[in-house]
Structure 1
Amino acid sequence: MLDKQPLHLHSHRTRINRFRSDSLLFKPKRPQSRWHRFWRYYFWRLVRQKGTPEFLARGLAAGVFAGLFPLFGVQTILGVALAMLLRGNKWMAVVGTWISNPLTSGPIFLLNFQVGQWLLQSHEVFDMERLKSTTALLEVGADFVFILFVGCLVMATLSAFLSYFLGIKLIRRWRTLHRGWRRRHHSGQ
């Protein structure tokens, strides 16, 4: 019965038999938490996205573009809409919006504000309290919002172009490495 199975299954079974529980090399598998399985599933789902590298990178660029604006609660929707408009991958757009998260939003918006301030030669003062929510952002003066959005537009455009070309390069590299790994793994080497 063992001989009728494909070669890679046969070699797998012999490898398992070599590592018995009395061996020092045997390590019992630790049960995985529900969160670990959840994140692992979505990581591999993201990595195995189908489509050309350009299609995937357009989605990523759309998400990065949307993620660099202080539109809390709307960034993902804007990123997916831009991905649909640019014929990019929607899942990659969702991931691209994660560039702005609770840890990075402060430095990102400070940099965007400073770029807008430099471009418009303004002396407006940046205050993070003004960015706590979309309603708080709408309550501040129009000058602050205009300076911030000019900086966001410039930095988002630059970042989208960079993420598009870097995304194409990384996706192609990943697929080349992954193909080589699968070939070696399935050939029994």
Structure 2
Amino acid sequence: MKKFFRRYTPNPSELKNHKNLGWLGKHLHNASLWNFNRKSISKAFAVGLFCAFVPVPFQMLLAAPAAVVFSANLPISVALVWITNPLTMPPIFYGCYKLGAWILSVGIEQDFIMSLDYVWQVFDIIWQPFLLGCLIISVMSSALGYFGIQIIYRYKAYKRVNQF
């Protein structure tokens, strides 16, 4: 799997001088942003999964600086936000809304329609449960991703050691 990611990962030396990247360009020489090790990939899963469930457009613009701040693998952090893409976003965010409404004991809109116009009409009613659900799912998926990668790496190391 490392070979697959390394094959499609851009060369950091080519990116750090790119003028369109702004302030991010000067941080791209940091080796931890490009490493494929347990620490870097676990942090990348935490960052990417957290940003994936933040209900804003262009979540990659949140994941990239967060990967720099937390020294996470940049390509994986940015790629993971695509869990919520235009096809999966409506059902995922509806699930977040339902979770938030259940926790807040708020009645769920019975006539809920999956359209942007409808959401804007009832936004004053649904914003609190929606944002609470998104926050809970972001934190939980981030923690599960981080610890899940840690466990997978340790399990593989254990299997390698006990194989001989």
- TM-score tier, shorter chain, comes to 0.5 to 0.7
1:147 to 110, 123, 129: 129
Q: SS of 1:128's equivalent?
A: coil
Sequence identity percentage: 25
Q: Call closer, same or farther: CA 1:56–1:129 in 2, change over 3 Å.
A: same
Higher gyration radius (CA) = 1
Q: Call closer, same or farther: CA 1:137–1:57 in 2, change over 3 Å.
A: farther
Following superposition of structure 1 onto structure 2, how do residues 37-116 of structure 1 map, counting pairs within 5 Å? 44-45=7-8, 50-72=35-57, 74-116=58-100
Which consecutive residues of structure 2, in runs of 5 or more, have no partner in the other structure?
10-33
Which consecutive residues of structure 1, in runs of 5 or more, have no partner in the other structure?
1-39, 180-189
Match of 2:105 in 1: 121
Match of 1:12 in 2: none
Give me the CA root mean square deviation.
3.1
Task: Measure, in 2, the Cα distance between the counterparts of 1:124 and 1:152.
Answer: 16
Render the CA deviation track for 1:31-54: whole Å, top value 9, x for unaligned. xxxxxxxxx9767335xx524312
Task: Measure, in 2, the Cα distance between the counterparts of 1:173 and 1:63.
Answer: 23
Task: Measure, in 1, the Cα distance between the counterparts of 2:141 and 2:41.
Answer: 16
Task: Measure, in 2, the Cα distance between the counterparts of 1:117 and 1:128.
Answer: 17
Alpha-carbon contact 1:68-1:100 (below 8 Å) kept = yes
Equivalenced residue count is 133
TM-score (norm 1): 0.58
